[in-house]
Amino acid sequence: MSIEPTNDLRITAVKVLDIRFPTSDELDGSDAVHVDPDYSSAYVILETDGAHQGHGLTFTIGRGTEIVCAACRSLSQGLVGRSMSDIVTNFLEFHRSLTNDSQARWIGPEKGVIHLATAAIVNAVWDLWGKIENKPVWQLVCELEPRQILELTELRYVSDVLSHDRALNILEQQAPHREKRIAELRRDGYPAYTTSAGWLGYSDEKIRELCLQGIEEGWNHFKIKVGQDIEDDRRRCRIVRETIGPDRHLMTDANQRWEVGEAIEWMKQLVEFKPLWIEEPTSPDDILGHKAVADALRPLGIGVATGEMCQNRIIFKQLMAADAMDFCQYDSCRLASVNEILAVMLMAAELNVRCCPHAGGVGLCQYVNHLVMIDYVCIAGTHEGRVAEYVSHLHEHFADPWRQKAGAYLLPEASGYGITMKPDSLHRYAHPHGSVWVERAAK
C-alpha cells in the first residue's frame, strides 16, 4: 500500500523569510518570562514546477528568528529537485533525512533550533501535499486508512510505550466513526478557549472588559498569566472569576516561572479561584518536577498542563508515562509537524491524557485548527474535557484565517495547511527590510 500524490510536483526552490510583528508595543503575548515579545515566524516557501507552492512556518518571538531561518536554509539544501511522490510515499524516510541529517543532528537531535526549523520545512510539505490534493490537511489525514496513517507516524523511540500494533488498534477502533464525527465537527466545531484576556501586561479594566467581551462571544474557558507577584495574581484571578461566574473555567499559566516547591505553594494560594489547570509551572524539561507538582495539586482539583516547550515526542512519552501531566499542550511547530504530532496524540490516547494543544503566536491557531479535528476524528474519539487554545491576534495576515464560533474552531475548508500568509503581509513585515521595520528604524 502506498500513498501517491495525484499530481507529482518537483521542488524547484526553497525560500526562507524572517517575518516579525512588533507585538511588544502593546504587550500582546507578554508573560512572566517573555516580557517584550515580537511575535515572529521563520517562514518557508517551497516553490515547484507546478501550480502550487507549499508554505510552512515555525513560531518564534523576536531576534531568535534569524537563527531559525539560518537552520531552515541549512536543512533544506537537499530539497531542490525532489518530487512530492518521492517524499510522500516514503514520508518517514524523508522526515528522518531531516531529523537525522548526520552533520546537523549534533545540534539536536530533535530539539531546539534545528527541530523548529525541521517543523517549518515539514509543515510546508504537508501544506503542499494538501494543495495538490485540493483538500485541507485534516481531511487528507482523515481519509487515509489506519495503516496509511501509521506509515506517516514517527514512533521511533516511543514504541516501548506505544507499539505499532497498539497504535494501529487505536486507529482501527476509531475508523468506523469518522464520518459521523466529521458531520458533528461541521455542525458544532471543536471546543476552544481564549488567552486573549489575560496577558500579564494588561490593566484590570482591560482584563474585565475582555472577559465580558469573551462571554458575550460565547467562550466558556478563560486563561490568564500568573507568576510574577502573588498579590497581583490573586487580584487578577478574582477579577476573572467574578466576571466569568462560578461555572465557566479559569486556567492559569506560569510560563516556567517557578521552582517546584514554589509552584506548589503559589498555586495553593489560588485554589479558591478554582483554576482548572496550572500550565508550565516550572522548567519544561523537568519531568520529576511536573510529577511532584501534579501529585501535590491534583487532590486540590488543579491539573498540570504543559507541552508548548516540550521539545519532542520522547519527552512527552516520559511526562505521560510518569503521570506528570493531565493536559498535553503539544505545539504544532515545536514538534516536527503532523508526523510527530500523530505519535503524541496516539500516546495520549493510550495513556488517557487529554490533548489541549498550544496555540496563539503567529499561525499556531491555523495549524491547531486542523490538528484537533484529526485527533477527534481518528484518535481520541472524544473532545470531552479537552479544549484547544485560541488567541485572536494576527489572523488577519493569513489568506484563509481560522473560522470560529461561540468558543469553537470550525472545520477548515481551504486546501492545504492554512498557513499561507497574504503577500502584502510577507512583504511589509519581513525583517529588517520590510516597510514596517524600515519605518520603525527611521524613527
The x, y and z cell numbers of residue 69, run together, are 531561518
What is the number of alpha carbons within 13 Å of residue 84 lying toward its C-beta? 28
Minimum distance from CB of 75 to Mg ion (Å)? 27
291 is catalytic: no
The residue (of 279 and 350) whose beta carbon lies closer to Mg ion is: 279
Minimum distance from CB of 411 to Mg ion (Å)? 25
Q: Which of 115, 225, 290, 397 is catalytic?
A: 225
Q: Give the total residue count for the chain.
A: 443
225 is catalytic: yes
The residue (of 76 and 255) whose beta carbon lies closer to Mg ion is: 255
Task: Output the residue with the shortest Cβ distance to Mg ion.
Answer: 253
Residues that bind Mg ion (CB under 5 A): 253, 279
Minimum distance from CB of 390 to Mg ion (Å)? 13
The residue (of 200 and 347) whose beta carbon lies closer to Mg ion is: 200
The residue (of 195 and 318) whose beta carbon lies closer to Mg ion is: 195
Rounded to 5°, angle at Cα 236 from 234 and 238? 65
Q: Do residues 371 and 356 touch, judged by C-beta distance below 8 A?
A: no
Q: Do residues 184 and 226 touch, judged by C-beta distance below 8 A?
A: no
Minimum distance from CB of 309 to Mg ion (Å)? 9
Give start and end residues of each alpha helix (H) in 251-409. 260-268, 287-297, 313-321, 337-350, 364-374
**Whole-angstrom Cα Rg for the chain:** 21
Amino acid at 319: L
CA gap 431, 65 in Å, rounded: 10
The residue (of 360 and 407) whose beta carbon lies closer to Mg ion is: 360
The residue (of 170 and 251) whose beta carbon lies closer to Mg ion is: 251
Determine which helix (DSSP H) or strand (DSSP E) holds 15, and give its type and residue range: strand 11-20
Minimum distance from CB of 331 to Mg ion (Å)? 9
Q: What is the dihedral of CA 90, 91, 93, 94, to 10 degrees?
A: 120
DSSP letters for 17-59:
EEEE--GGGTTTT--SS-SS---EEEEEEEEESSS--EEEEEE
Q: Which of 52, 95, 223, 358 is catalytic?
A: 358
* 3-state SS, one letter per residue, for 197-256: EECCCCCHHHHHHHHHHHHHHCCCEEEEECCCCHHHHHHHHHHHHHHHCCCCEEEEECCC
The residue (of 154 and 279) whose beta carbon lies closer to Mg ion is: 279
The x, y and z cell numbers of residue 435, run together, are 516597510
Q: What are phi and psi of 190, to 5 degrees?
A: -115, 135
CA gap 387, 72 in Å, rounded: 31
Residues with active-site annotation: 225, 358
